[in-house]
Amino acid sequence: MAKYKKERIAQLFDNLAAAGKDTKRKTLTSDHSIPQITSEKAFRRLELGSKDVLFDVGTGTGEKAIRAARICRQVIGIDISKKSLEIACKKAMREKLDNLVFTYSSFEEPCAELDLTQCGITKILAVYSLHHLSDQLKKESLGTLVQLLHRPGRMVIGDLMFFDEPNKYRHQFYEIGYDGGDTDFPSGVEHLTECLANLEARLTVEKIHPLVGVIVADWT
Ligand SMILES: C[S@@+](CC[C@H](N)C(=O)[O-])C[C@H]1O[C@@H](n2cnc3c(N)ncnc32)[C@H](O)[C@@H]1O
């Protein structure tokens, strides 16, 4: 199995964005694909309102961030793919949205370019992005993100996460958007729930597929 390398993943998504693809696989963009169903469920579980400030981590070309900006007070989208961010910014400008910021930073260093501690973030979204990190980095990053979240606050993760032995579903890897360990490093669902429970979140977990789910974590 390959190792997590941020630069390699950034390059991959830069290339995809430059080629006009929003995501790694064509199936990810089809309305009835598992990734798309997951993404839609995750977005809905945010239960966004007009007072919310959303932080979209691994925003890609900003589809969800732009949609959220039509509802919320403020949206901040970050990513490590500069090309994806460039596309996201152009889309936001076309939509004339002035409550939306896209900036280069990462799960590991979310405040690299913007001091997010003063933004009043009430909701955090991570769709098909967290799984690129190793288990240890996921744990550390979740801890960092939670510190940026105001109370009451909610984090929604819609992503690859193993509820079962992954090799039983090899024939479905492509369909669910999993590359088998080249640049994707999903955790067992227990790892994610344990990290979040240790951060004192109240959790609900929805299994979409044996290797994909949505976690809603609330802090009151
Ligand atoms: C499959 S795309 C999903 C994009 C978007 N969330 C969506 O649902 O359309 C994964 C995104 O995560 C970003 N990403 C990967 N590792 C990251 C990291 N360490 N920090 C921030 N973003 C990261 C990639 O650059 C890519 O844009």
Ligand 1 atom 13: the closest Cα is on which residue?
Answer: 58
Instruction: Looking at the CA of residue 63, tell me the nearest atom of ligand 1.
Output: 9
Pocket of ligand 1 contains residue 193 by CB under 6 Å: no
Pocket of ligand 1 contains residue 25 by CB under 6 Å: no
Ligand 1 atom 26: the closest Cα is on which residue?
Answer: 60
Q: What is the pLDDT of residue 29?
A: 54
Could you report the per-residue pLDDT of 37-60, keeping only the tens digit for each? 999 999 999 999 999 999 999 999
Do 33 and 22 meet the contact criterion of CB atoms below 8 Å apart? no
Pocket of ligand 1 contains residue 58 by CB under 6 Å: yes
The whole model's pTM is what? 0.95
Span 87-98, average pLDDT: 95
Instruction: Looking at the CA of residue 28, tell me the nearest atom of ligand 1.
Output: 1
Domains of the chain, first to last: 6-15+33-219 (3.40.50.150)
Residue 58's Cα: distance from chain center in Å? 5
Could you report the per-residue pLDDT of 95-130, keeping only the tens digit for each? 999 999 999 999 999 999 999 999 999 999 999 999
Pocket of ligand 1 contains residue 178 by CB under 6 Å: no
What is the per-residue burial (b if ≥16 Cβ within 10 Å, else e) of 85-119? bebbbebbeeeebeebbbbebbbeebbeeeebeeb
For the chain, give the percent of residues with pLDDT over 90: 91
